[in-house]
Structure 1
Amino acid sequence: MAERTDHDVDVEVLVIGAGVVGVYALYRAIDAGFSARTLEAGDGVGGVWYWNRYPQARFDSESYTYGYLFSKELFEDWRWKEEFATQPEIESYLNHVVDRFDLRRHIHTGQKVASAVYDEAANVWVVTTEKGDVVRARWVISATGGLSVPHYPELDGLDDFAGQAHHTGAWPHTPVDFAGKRVAIIGNGPSGAQLLPAIVDVVASVDLYQRTPTWTTPLNNGPLTDERHRWLNDNWETVVKVLSTSPSGFLHEPAGKFSTADSPEQRQAFFETMWKAPGFGKLTMNYYDMTTNRELNLEFCAFLAGKIRSIVQDPVTAERLIPTDHLFGAKRPPFVADYFESFNKPAASLIALRETPIVRVDATGIETTEKHRDYDIIVYATGFDFGTGALTRMGVQGREGLDLSKGWEDGPADFGGFSAHQLPNFFFPGGPHGAGGGNYPRYSQDQVDWITATIVYAREHGFDVFEPTAAHQDAWMSMIETLAPKSIFSAEHSHYYGANVQGKPRKFLLNPGGRPKLHDMLGEMSSTENYTGAFRKKVVNDAHH
């Protein structure tokens, strides 16, 4: 399709970010006939899979469910090596997609956005990069994601350490040599839990600093067999249908029953099956009432605690690794290999920060209330400023003086998890309230599909502005606030509430209604006069035309 041009702008659609969602947004915009460009802060494509390159960084969603579904040929031709691929393979896949669909010429790397300001008179977004380049765009799709701003712990002396210090979310491109080194890992979420087993056999020592234990369970990875690859290709239509419509965005077969269908003994046997289930299958393939029946969840937690005690040889360490403040799934559970087994290795130790908090970091290591420990390498596996972090740091200024860094000081307000009142023609798929606890790319690509359809609709009907009304936004936020307390992810001390960032308001940052509620509300908006109520013609002085 020939590119359409708009002489008011440098480009019709500007995408910010070349991660999984940004690459898809660029592809869809070009495929729909818009002139499009991407600005990417990194020096390559991949987004989170460009920056997170620590040892054993990998998917915990099955590789073929995380990748793209817009091309059957792409799906068939790309052969994943493992059920859950590692970072190098993921980065290779995304580069393959960019080159296969001739997208690289539209992507400008090394261009971190410093500001995005809406010129209301011209109905144009003026986007400026840190290098001083300026792009004028009619539509902006900020695909910066919820996991793009690494969060460092609020500790005294962070800059005083004389050894190597790395955040898992901003890992160097040159390999870090852990052999014979004294290492501290601060954080026990997915990245800390992946890194520990990857280095425990080569370091002189490794101390994992844990603030709150999490319900870590086995990933149960394996090679992607020829038989599995053939089955996926032979069942392409079914695979796409399930991944595009299921609440979780996975191919997992649900248990098909409530816990009341089984005796206590049968439930224990079923829990054993769940222990061996792949990744998120422990949530999606579990009893229907696992996420709503507190007593059942406690029973499963007791089963998991028994597993931890049976694996970890030191009983004191085992007890410190067992969560006591949240149910299974209330926090984002890590799915990894050999995490608990690592604590049986002579090099590994667990430092429980609730018992011995860190006092400060200094030139040679870390001082806790118990003692000082010397290190060669400190790894901060402390997560991200989730949901709002990138958007509030990007200098976004919308209509009527909306400054996002101030407007969202008390928490984000949006519609659909990807648009907001007073931000005309500005979208942020995968932003706050932009995930429902399932397979992240499936959910975000639903949003991109809707965004693309919306700007095509505007083009076809002569509209130049799309902006959710205050009523649209209020309805969406009312749903968020009503359902949040009922969500399985409702532990208010988790990053889903921004609790990992000191001073950040405690606001629920997921969509507690999940993918079904997103589809319902977008469908309702698209099929009524509410949809056209969000569109208008631009008001400009056309004398210069």
Structure 2
Amino acid sequence: MAATRQHHTSPETAALDYDVIIIGAGLSGMYQLHRLREIGLKARIFETGTDVGGTWYWNRYPGARFDSESYSYGYSFSKELLQEWEWSEHFAGQPETLRYCNYVADKFDLRRDIQFESRVTAAIYQGDTRSWEITLASGARSTCRFLVTAVGPLSTPTLPRIEGRDDFEGQSFHTARWPKEKVHFAGKRVAVIGTGATGIQTIQTIACEVGHLTVFQRTANWAAPLHNGKIDAETQRRIKAGYGEIFARCKETFACFVHTPDPRGAFEVSDAEREAFYEKLYGERGFGIWQGNFKDILIDRKANATISDFVARKIRERVKDPDVAEKLIPKNHGFGTRRLPLETFYYEVYNRDNVELVDLVATPIERITRDGIRTSEKDYAFDIIIYATGFDAITGSFDKIDVRGANGARLRDKWQHGPETYLGLMVDGFPNMMMLMGPHTALGNIPRSIEYSVDWVTGLIRFAIDNELTFLDATPEGTAGWTDHVKALGVGLLSNEVDSWMTGINRNVEGKQTRIVARYSGSAPAYRERCDAVAARGYDELRME
């Protein structure tokens, strides 16, 4: 499709406040600011929090940490930064990662162009000036030519729709809105609602500290050992010498991790070989058991059953009470068909005398009371309730902002039946707006995807500046084509048959009870090849004026 490029009188423009406004000062927003400065543009970040870090600023709950190897997670754009920074663990915890974000902000002097405690409530496209007007919760307004959203796929927490939630007189908080001050658990009666990734990390961390812990589980999740450890001096030296190879490896793998699927199928080996392979993966660090497993375990039910049965046996070996073990083994989805939480002695927590598991399928919560939680079976008294109830994922952060494109069209209306995007980076009818880590983009090892998306967006903006273009928009055909392509890639994936944040399901959000294809599920190299081709042809699939 040929681009529509028109050169005519520039639209009547008042002076704009900024060339580019970025929403969010997490890993995406910080790198985007750095790149825009490099090409000489005036850019501003508006950030809701009081400091940088995004995910790592908000998620301060006990046990929060990477599930990507630290040395594959950090930024790759600065060799100097890579040599200066030393990760202390193979999978760094939240405090260390937040220190890293602050180190980056200081090293590249980013804070002078970041406005904190500035929540964006509206972003309205101005057709007459081909610009965006951004409104903050304070009422302050700013204008820019280009808008870049860096709001994160998992940044809008959701609380369960349970009656009486505000009646509880003890402490309560969502894992993603954890208090900055220390929470004292010693001797306390604590409830955790939810056993997803944040729930698992919190539960395994606080179980030995609390007086009594009650875990309320609606949906059991598969989890596998993280096998974290400290990085010794010799390993540190090897990592710093090998960064080129590490990032080259991430660039060639399916999802930008250091792991990639085994080329064999689960039934191309003997039963004994398959069992030995699973044992090897179960004993290794990180996502190998999910991302480095047989090529067919996420598309073939029988192949998936072999790994599901293996991990179920491991859970039964690790949990002493057979009834509790069975409750912890998922029955409604196969291993790896949801994003896999990695754990450190999580299952052993349920062998402790001070830990109880409540199955919400058998005995659902009826309400929160002044003193605790009432299920259909009994009343529980608590001092602290922790909501590990997840996020309104991928599109939720966009829904929080009144985003209006050409002719006042609302983004949430356009996406009411599921997201529609061009390359996961733009949306037709929303000119001069680019998205980082939005719907339909390659997620995987997030910072690797971030750097690629930021570089692509920066290239597009630079192209616009160099060619005096004030209007960039995806076409309806381009958006429909990419959206259909993303949907086609999801056909046959077992994960798209499962209710999860990756399929847009959230029972706690009105209108999000129907599965959608919210993410690109092809390989990262194929995604980059497609986007690179568009850039190489001078962005000929866009409308440009």
- TM-score band w.r.t. shorter chain: over 0.9
- Pick which of 500-509 and 316-325 moved more: 500-509
Q: Is the 8 A contact 2:442 2:527 kept in 1?
A: no
Contact 1:393 1:405 in 2 (8 A): no
2:39 aligned residue (29, 32, 45): 32
Paired with 1:128 and 1:313, the residues of 2 have a C-alpha distance of 56
Amino acid at match of 1:456: R
SS for the counterpart of 1:271 is helix
Shift of 1:435: 3.5
Among 507, 516, 520, the alignment partner of 1:511 is 520
How far apart, CA to CA, are the structure 2 residues paired with 1:435 and 1:132?
35
Taking the aligned partners of 1:153 and 1:405, their CA distance within structure 2 comes to 22
Q: Is the 8 A contact 1:492 1:499 kept in 2?
A: no
Equivalent pair of 1:360/1:367 in contact (CA under 8 Å): yes
Per-residue CA deviation, residues 339-377 of structure 1 (Å, 9 max, x unaligned), is: 100000111111111111111111111111111101110
* 1:289-300 to 2 correspondences below 5 Å: 289-300=296-307
Mapped partners of 2:293, 2:478: distance in 1: 35
Between stretches 97-106 and 246-255, larger displacement belongs to 246-255
Matched with 1:3 is none
| Distance in structure 1 (CA, Å) of the matches to 2:249 and 2:304 | 27
Alpha-carbon contact 2:175-2:198 (below 8 Å) kept: yes
What secondary structure, in the 3-state scheme, does the structure 1 residue paired with 2:67 have?
Answer: coil
Instruction: Find 1:302's aligned residue among 303, 306, 309.
Output: 309
Contact 2:337 2:498 in 1 (8 A): no
Report if the CA contact (8 A) 2:25-2:150 is conserved: yes
Q: Deviations over 1:102-154 (max 9, x none)?
A: 11111111000011110010011000111122111111111001111101111
Q: What residue is the counterpart of 2:500 in the other structure? A: 494
Matched, 1:313 2:314: no
On the 8 A contact 1:392/1:408 being kept in 2, the answer is no
The answer to whether the aligner puts 1:172 opposite 2:156 as a matched pair is no
Aligned to 2:10: none
Q: Which amino acid aligns with 2:289?
A: K
Question: TM-score by structure 1 length?
Answer: 0.94
The structure-2 alpha-carbon separation of the partners of 1:297 and 1:234, relative to structure 1 and needing over 3 Å to count, comes to: same
Q: In 2, distance between residues paired with 1:460 and 1:423?
A: 21
Higher mean Cα deviation, 444-453 or 248-257? 248-257
The answer on whether the counterparts of 1:180 and 1:204 sit within 8 Å (CA) in structure 2 is yes
User: What's the counterpart of residue 66 of structure 1?
Assistant: 73
What's the counterpart of residue 540 of structure 1? Answer: none
CA distance in 1, matches of 2:310, 2:227: 18
Aligned to 1:48: 55
Q: How far apart are the structure 2 equivalents of 1:250 and 1:316?
A: 36
Q: Distance in 1 between matches of 2:357 and 2:506?
A: 20
**In the alignment, is the contact (CA less than 8 A) between 2:26 and 2:53 conserved in 1?**
yes
1:270–1:245 CA distance, 2 compared to 1 (3 A)? closer
Describe the superposition over 1:504-524 as per-residue Cα deviations: whole angstroms up to 9, x where unpaired: 142121112242342233133
Q: Where does residue 542 of structure 2 map in the other structure?
A: 534
Instruction: String of CA shifts for 1:406-425, please: whole Å, max 9, x gaps.
Output: 22222211112221001111
Tell me how far apart the structure 1 counterparts of residues 273 and 526 of structure 2 sit (CA, whole Å). Answer: 33
The aligned residue for residue 214 of structure 1 is 221
Other structure's SS at 1:390 match:
helix
Among 482, 485, 491, the alignment partner of 1:479 is 485
Give the counterpart letter for 2:501 in structure 1: H
**Residue 49 of structure 1: CA displacement?**
0.5
Counterpart in 2 of 1:127? 134
Q: How far off its partner does 1:331 sit?
A: 0.9
User: Is residue 463–residue 535 contact of structure 1 (8 Å, CA) maintained in 2?
Assistant: no
Deviation of 1:277 (Å): 2.1
Aligned residue in 1 for 2:379: 372
| Structure 1 counterpart of 2:544, one-letter code | R
- 1:241-280 matched pairs, under 5 angstroms: 241-252=248-259, 255-280=262-287
> Which of 434, 449, 470 lines up with 2:476 in the alignment?
470
Partner secondary structure for residue 99 of structure 1: helix
1:26-45: CA deviation from partner (whole Å, max 9, x where unpaired): 11111122111111000011
The structural deviation recorded for 1:239 is: 2.0
Question: Which residue in 2 is equivalent to 1:398?
Answer: 405
Identity of aligned residues (%): 38
What is residue 231 of structure 2 aligned with on the other side? 224
Question: What amino acid sits opposite 2:461 in the alignment?
Answer: I
Tell me if the contact between 2:124 and 2:408 (Cα under 8 Å) persists in the aligned partners.
no
1:243 Cα deviation after fit: 2.1
1:432 alignment partner AA? P
Cα distance in 2 for residues equivalent to 1:315 and 1:240: 44
Please give the per-residue CA displacement for 1:470-502, whole angstroms capped at 9, x wherever unaligned. 111011110122122323421331111222234
Q: Deviations over 1:384-441 (max 9, x none)?
A: 00011111111111112211232222221111222100111111211122344x2122
Does structure 1 residue 432 correspond to structure 2 residue 443?
A: no
Q: 1:541 — aligned with what? A: none
C-alpha deviation, 1:75, in angstroms: 0.8
Letter in 2 for 1:459: I
Which structure 2 segments of 5+ residues have no match?
1-12
Q: CA deviation at 1:256?
A: 4.8
TM-score normalised by the chain length of structure 2 = 0.94
Inter-CA distance 412–215: structure 2 relative to 1 (3 Å threshold): same
Q: Corresponding residue for 1:418?
A: 425
- Cα distance, 1:533–1:481 mapped onto 2, change above 3 Å: closer
Give 2:160's aligned residue.
153
Distance in 2, matches of 1:239 and 1:388, equals 31
Are 1:521 and 2:530 counterparts?
A: yes
Call closer, same or farther: CA 1:101–1:488 in 2, change over 3 Å. farther
Give, in whole Å, the separation in 2 of the partners of 1:431 and 1:444.
Answer: 10
Q: C-alpha deviations, 1:158-195, integer Å up to 9, x for none? A: 11111111100111100111111111100000110001
Is contact 1:149-1:384 (8 Å) kept?
yes
How far has the Cα of 1:525 moved from its partner?
2.3
> Where do residues 177-196 of structure 1 align in structure 2 (5 Å cutoff)?
177-196=184-203
Counterpart contact for 2:267–2:303, Cα < 8 Å: no
Number of corresponding residues: 530
Change (3 A) 1:240 1:376: same
**How far apart, CA to CA, are the structure 2 residues paired with 1:312 and 1:239?**
36
Corresponding position of 2:151: 144
- Do the aligned partners of residues 29 and 484 (structure 1) sit closer, same or farther apart at CA in structure 2, a change above 3 Å counting? same
- Cα distance in 1 between the residues matched to 2:198 and 2:52: 21
1:78, distance to aligned residue in structure 2 (A): 0.3
Q: Which moved more, 1:363-372 or 1:245-254?
A: 245-254
Bigger Cα displacement from structure 2, 506-515 vs 266-275: 506-515
Stretches of structure 1 lacking an aligned partner (at least 5 in a row):
1-5, 538-545
The aligned residue for residue 457 of structure 2 is 451
Query: Which amino acid is the alignment partner of residue 482 of structure 2?
Result: W
